[in-house]
């Protein structure tokens, strides 16, 4: 799920890579990387990311990358609309959501409204694709009169991308079925975003537009629940958040600054400073209720080494009473 709104910094053999659409396994020459149907793909973003990482030594990625034919496409006008919506929210409500302006929300909106276009549409009849693209662009233009869309220019670029990705595209459901039932192999599923950004279970409306909980494995790849094995929760020894939303253990003081600077807490996609605070066990337990972790990977413990005292959020009170759930 997700798109190039989320970023992963991956350091291997002293080399640092930034991934947004690429699965982190793309570095491993022995691994096949697969972008599932639940992901929304901005094609210019995919090739820009490839180019940046090629300069860092990434080789032959196109031989190891497979893309689901059912993944939805993020268009440039989705990105423009994302920015316009944020401006609108700020003007109307005095606050925005703090999106990455990468067009993710508008693309999932198109998907839910059944007006979206998928990779398979781009690769089949291009005339049919073009007319649906024009209709979608027109819908957005009527909603946002200031929106300027170079329809012909965009279509020309998309036609070029279609040929570049064609060799990588497969029927994703059949691909996963064969992977699960063929010769034994290890399959690692990587989600984008964090549990508390899930559209259903996160701190709505300050969330992303997809399911970043373990259910996304079933819906985003077409993997039946019986095939989901171990579920690893990845959690820092402190809590961070990029963008707006509730954050009870946040430290807006020198502790927060220390965690931010020592932990190099910058959003990989936006470059924004991450908000930092003490580890919140209430949200960790809540994430466990939804995902059923078989293990936790606790990271960045060493960032706290310089502190004499470490605090942890253990409970929430509502109306003066301790509550056993996440409100």
Query: What amino acid positions are annotated as catalytic residues?
Result: 111
Selection from 49, 65, 58 nearest residue 13 by Cα: 58
Are the C-beta atoms of 227 and 237 separated by less than 8 Å?
no
Let me know: does 210 contact 105? Beta carbons within 8 Å: no
Q: Which sign does the torsion angle of CA 189, 8, 198, 275 carry?
A: positive
Q: What would the two tokens of residue 252 be?
A: 């807006």
Query: Which is nearest to 214 in space by CA: 293, 299, 285?
Result: 293
Provide the CA 68 distance to its chain's centre, in angstroms: 16
Distance in angstroms (rounded) separating the CA atoms of residues 9 and 307: 25
Mapped onto helix, strand or coil, the DSSP state of residue 144 is coil
Q: Report DSSP state, residue 56.
A: T
Q: What is the DSSP letter of 301?
A: G
Q: Where are the alpha helices (DSSP H) in 196-250?
A: 215-221
130: left (phi over 0), alpha (psi -120 to 50) or beta: alpha
H/E run at residue 275: strand 275-280
Q: How many residues does the chain have?
A: 327
The neighbour count for residue 320, using CB atoms within 10 Å, is 5
Using alpha carbons only, how large is the chain's radius of gyration in Å?
Answer: 21
What pairs with residue 236 in β-bridges?
299
Contacts of 147 (CB under 8 A, 6+ apart): 77, 80, 81, 84, 140, 141
């Amino acid at each position: 799920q997700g798109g190039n709104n989320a970023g992963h910094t991956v350091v291997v053999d002293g080399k640092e890579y930034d991934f947004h659409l690429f699965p982190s396994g793309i570095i491993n020459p022995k691994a096949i990387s697969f972008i599932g149907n639940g992901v929304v793909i901005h094609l210019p973003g995919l090739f820009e990311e490839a180019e940046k990482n090629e300069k860092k030594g990434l080789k032959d990625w196109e031989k190891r990358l497979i893309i689901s034919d059912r993944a939805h496409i993020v268009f440039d006008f989705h990105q423009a609309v994302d920015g316009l919506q944020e401006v609108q929210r700020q003007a109307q409500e005095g606050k925005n959501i703090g999106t990455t302006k990468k067009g993710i929300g508008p693309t999932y909106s198109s998907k839910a409204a059944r007006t979206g276009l998928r990779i398979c549409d781009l690769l089949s009849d291009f005339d049919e694709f073009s007319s649906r693209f024009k209709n979608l662009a027109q819908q957005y233009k009527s909603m946002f009169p200031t929106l300027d869309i170079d329809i012909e220019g965009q279509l020309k670029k998309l036609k070029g991308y279609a040929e570049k990705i064609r060799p990588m595209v497969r029927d994703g459901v059949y691909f996963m079925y064969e992977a699960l039932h063929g010769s034994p192999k290890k399959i690692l599923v990587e989600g984008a975003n964090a549990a508390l950004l899930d559209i259903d279970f996160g701190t709505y409306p300050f969330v992303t537009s997809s399911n970043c909980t373990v259910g996304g494995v079933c819906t985003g790849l077409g993997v039946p629940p019986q095939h989901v094995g171990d579920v690893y929760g990845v959690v820092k020894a402190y809590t961070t958040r990029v963008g707006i939303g509730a954050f009870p253990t946040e430290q807006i003081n020198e502790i927060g600054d220390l965690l931010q600077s020592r932990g190099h807490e910058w959003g990989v996609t936006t470059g924004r400073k991450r908000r930092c605070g003490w580890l919140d066990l209430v949200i960790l337990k809540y994430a466990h209720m939804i995902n059923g972790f078989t293990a936790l990977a606790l990271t960045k413990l060493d960032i706290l080494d310089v502190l004499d005292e470490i605090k942890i959020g253990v409970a929430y009170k509502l109306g003066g009473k301790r509550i056993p759930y996440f409100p």
